[in-house]
Amino acid sequence: SIDSEPPPPPPAPLLLRITDEERRFMKALHGFIPSPRAAKRFVNTYRLLHASLPANERAAFVGSQERPGESQFAQLLLAMIIGHPAEATRVLEALVEHEPTGSWWDFIQARAHDTPSSEESPERWAELAARMDELRAQRIFPEDLACGAFVKWAPRVARYSFQARSVLMARKKTAAPARRKVSKAS
């Protein structure tokens, strides 16, 4: 009949579903997301990242209520890219190039005080630093949080940013000849 309702949409594939724990953490990142459109981009990009993981990494990525997963690190980096793309690109570059092992919070503070590139502004860095301070005050992450998990997720997250991906790809190309020379000498 004409009055009947259309059939409901098919359920989201399991890989694209977001757990309650993931959703709760996303809400904590709202200050990084500048608009509803950016929020949609954040969620959809996160779903793509999650779906791209090999099956053996998914449980550790999502975690549980008792033991948060690595998804929080990836979500924070994604939120930074969505809300502060130029500044987040600098953060991702530093994570990939230097693989810092110290405190995440000290690392972020140091980046905020670096001299901005031509694409960045001191005001945007101050805004990002303020968002990070707000997140830190929520005590979601421990004070002694190390950069290691962010180092692990930086290259994967960078793939989903045009700005960060192109910078990281350019660095990979310039590093490749140097690696080849070393391997030939061995």
For the stretch 80-127, pLDDT in tens is: 999 999 999 999 999 998 999 999 999 998 988 776 666 668 888 889
Phi, psi of 146 (to 5 degrees): -90, 160
Cβ contact 138:129 at 8 Å: no
Work out the pLDDT band at 184, boundaries 50, 70, 90: very low
Return d(Cα 99, Cα 24) in angstroms, integer. Answer: 29
- 147 φ/ψ sector (left φ>0, alpha ψ -120 to 50, else beta): alpha
DSSP state of 103: B
Cβ atoms 82, 164 nearer than 8 A: no
Q: State pLDDT tens for residues 12-22.
A: 576 778 888 89
- What pLDDT does 10 receive? 60
User: What residue spans define the domains of the chain?
Assistant: 71-186
For 53, the token pair is 């993981």
- Which residue, chain included where needed, has tokens 């990002």? 128
Query: What is the model's pTM?
Result: 0.82
Identify which has the larger pLDDT, 127 or 68. 127
Can you tell me the distance from the alpha carbon of 31 to that of 90, in angstroms, rounded to the nearest whole number?
A: 20
pLDDT confidence of residue 7: 75
- Distance in angstroms (rounded) separating the CA atoms of residues 171 and 174: 5
